Chains A and B, each alone.
Chain A
Amino acid sequence: MVEFVFIAPMLTGIIAFFIPPTAGRLLLVLTGAIHLAMSLMLWVLRPEALFPVYFAVTPEGLLSLLVISLLFFLISIYTTAYLKTAEIRSENIFTGSMLLFLSTMTMVTLSDHIMVMWIAIEATTLASAPLIYTHRSAASLEATWKYVLICSVGIALALLGSVFITLSMDVGGVDVPVAFSSLTDVARQLDPLWLKTGFVFILVGYGTKMGLAPMHTWLPDAHSEAPSPASALLSGVLLNCAYLGIFKTNKVMHAAGLGDFSGTILMTFGLVSILAAATFILKQTEYKRLLAYSSIENMGIIAFGTGIGGLGAYGAVLCLIHHSLIKSSLFLCSGNILLGYGDRLIAGTGQLARRMPKTFVAFFSGFAGISGFPPFGIFIGELFIIMAAFRTGHYLAVGLFILSLCVIFAGFARHVMKISFDDVGTTIQIEEKSIMVWPQYALLTTSLVLCFWIPETLYQTIVQAVATMGGGF
């Protein structure tokens, strides 16, 4: 039952390579709907896996799975309209890769074995590479090359880290399955030196994929060159999958009593990422790259919060969920803008508010949400992280954190104002369609609702996920 959730999209993905485009679009939405239904069933039933050594339903996995499922369903609806408007060569490769990408990401969320997790994360790189190369241009080729090479090398380091963790079991004389859940139980018997080494390698490895600075260089290129629905998936859920690997290892570290060590490193990487985003966001000239740097910022915030632990970890998980919802809707809007103006540069846009009013509403509220304005969820997440940082006495770090957030907000706001209101002589080539706007509205509304009302089952799952890190209130 559990394994079927990722086997189903894998099968439909393979089918999609061989069927005509119109049928492929239908299959995309259909698989999205079935996947969403299956994820909801997993959430309610929480069944045992057929191969419990390799797969398990964990609270953090379920959270990511539900986000992936919801996002993919809404993005697939957008994609059908996008594919009709945009001219994409070999569309069956695009839809097939989208479905395989969904399958591999689902596998990441459900894997419990440390090596199976690695296999799944590397598979996400391979499945998403054709998506980035969709436009077949020289720039997209460069972006794909960078993406595949940097991520593969980075993830190879994570494999080495995983081997070190099995080594820490050998040296510590522990004999249990190499799964995160069983490792958490016996964490105190593991050899601390090799466990620490393993954590550092895993953080650098999966951190490359998550977009933590200074390993983030592939991210702006890949996000800007991929077609917008693919960028939305990359930013909204792929980064979460890589984070899941770090999160689970961090849980083992906390259980082993090494939470301070892993926390300090996570906070450092997080802060460096936020600072890097603050430096680069000011001088961006393309709006998709702008959004990509904002993703780096948010991943930095999440790593920072996880590093602090306690209330911070709870805030980080909130940020993770809301970032997925809001950032994917922003990337979908950027697709509308690109189709409408036919220009990637911020200078080539302008007066979005008048020319594409529906897209403008989604884009602008997405911007407000992502920069941490109430009433969107990122505000609450960031507030918790800042409170936790003050409680634990990280005054210098939190000072830098708040300062960078202000700089990023200022830079982001300047660009968004230009896009929305600047009076330039640009014209619209393709009018916006309502089917390409309401998935964004649905995503933003979900974020808004979750901000005021978190269902009890969702709250409990988040608290369970961060319990080992001393999370919750």
Chain B
Amino acid sequence: MIHPVDTLLALVLLSVLISFGSSRLPTLIKALAFQGVVVSIVPFFMGHNLTVGGVIFTLVTMVIRGIGIPLCIYLAIKKVAIKREVEPIIGYNASLLAGLLLIVAAAFVSPKFNLPQTSVHALLLPTAITLLVAGMFLLMARRNAIAMVLGYIMMENGIYVVGTSFSMRAHHIVEFGILLDVLAGVMIMAIILQNIKQTFDDVDTAHLRTLKE
């Protein structure tokens, strides 16, 4: 029987592929919101003994990652009615192929790390690696500033998977602090996005190349 955690993680991998293949920003944001929700409920199925505080914290995480952060970005693009294309440097088909290759490579290298949890949940480490590298990929392969912020959020999701599944050491207050930092960071990025749009009438980062050597 397939463990529920692996089912969830398969959904996360699917959301990565959707985000690689989609040309429109609203779809990309929805994929990220879905990913945020799924990633944050993984701890419920891990088989750790959850305390009341743990349950509350997981729910708060879900609300912030699944609703709060995507909403910030969505409001930013809604307010300024941005041309809703992601302006890829690497095309969608090539991106999809890269995504598939990435998942295969991640699944291939994961067993080499010899971590105890990977024997129970086969997809845990591959998903974490995929999310991290996919976030980097979006940062580099899209010129649209919003797509870059979404890449950053995807990376953060990956780190969250590593943090919650492989080591349960951090206190909830600390985890909460990290989450708050990420949320505040995304809010500031959303404000900058609005200003970029107002100044240049576009969010293509090709405009942001005047400062260089």
Contacts and interface: CB of A to CB of B under 8 A. Distances in A.
A163 B167 contact: yes
B197 to A, nearest CB: 10
Contacts of B213: 220, 280, 283
Given A126-B188, A144-B192, A166-B169, 8 more contacts: A54-B174, A115-B170, A142-B209, A148-B185, A148-B188, A167-B115, A170-B169, A224-B211
Instruction: Select the residue from B115, B152, B192, B211 with max chain A CB neighbours within 10 A.
Output: B211
B132 interface: yes
Contacts of A17: none
Interface residues of B, number: 38
A202 to B, nearest CB: 13
Contacts of B156: 156
Instruction: Select the residue from B149, B169, B209 with max chain A CB neighbours within 10 A.
Output: B169
Contacts of B185: 122, 125-126, 148, 152
B166 A160 contact: no
A163 B165 CA distance: 11
Interface string A96-119: 000000000000000001011011
Given A129-B188, A153-B155, A145 B208 contact: yes
Given A129-B188, A149-B148, A163-B166, A115 B174 contact: yes
Interface of B: 115, 132, 139, 145, 148-149, 152, 155-156, 159, 162-163, 166-167, 169-171, 174, 177-178, 180-181, 184-185, 188-189, 192, 195-196, 199-200, 205, 207-211, 213
Contact of A163 (B155, B159, B181, B208): B159
A246 interface: no
Contact of B159 (A123, A126, A159): A159
Given A153-B152, A170-B167, A119 B210 contact: no
Instruction: Select the residue from A153, A171, A224 with max chain B CB neighbours within 10 A.
Output: A153
A119 B184 contact: no
Nearest to B184: A126
Contact of A142 (B159, B171, B180, B211): B211
> 7 closest pairs, A vs B, by CB?
A119-B177, A142-B208, A166-B167, A122-B181, A221-B211, A115-B174, A163-B163
A358 interface: no
Contacts of B184: 123, 126
Interface residues of A, number: 41
Interface in A396-446: none
Contacts of B163: 159, 163
B208 A160 contact: no
A458 interface: no
A141 interface: yes
Contacts of A171: 115
Report whether over half of chain B's contact residues are helix, strand or loop; otherwise say mixed. helix
A164 to B, nearest CB: 8
B159 A146 contact: no
Given A141-B196, A166-B169, A170-B167, A115 B132 contact: no
Contacts of B167: 163, 166-167, 169-170
A144 B207 CA distance: 14
Interface in A136-184: 138-139, 141-146, 148-149, 152-153, 156, 159-160, 163, 166-167, 169-171, 178
A199 B162 CA distance: 16
A123 B181 contact: yes
Given A122-B185, A123-B181, A145 B169 contact: no
B174 A116 contact: yes
B164 to A, nearest CB: 10
B145 to A, nearest CB: 7
Contacts of A146: 208, 211
A119 B200 contact: no
Nearest to B164: A163
A125 B182 CA distance: 11
A398 B190 CA distance: 45
Instruction: Select the residue from A144, A149, A170, A171 with max chain B CB neighbours within 10 A.
Output: A149
A44 B107 CA distance: 55
Instruction: Select the residue from A116, A119, A125, A152 with max chain B CB neighbours within 10 A.
Output: A152
A119 B51 CA distance: 24
B177 A149 contact: no
A115 B211 CA distance: 34
Contacts of A53: 171
B42 to A, nearest CB: 15
A169 B169 contact: yes
Contacts of A139: 210-211
A142 B177 contact: no
Nearest to B179: A119
A385 to B, nearest CB: 27
Nearest to A151: B185
A113 B176 CA distance: 14
A115 B177 contact: yes
16 contacts: A115-B178, A116-B174, A119-B174, A119-B180, A122-B181, A122-B185, A139-B210, A139-B211, A145-B145, A145-B205, A159-B159, A160-B159, A166-B169, A220-B211, A224-B211, A280-B213
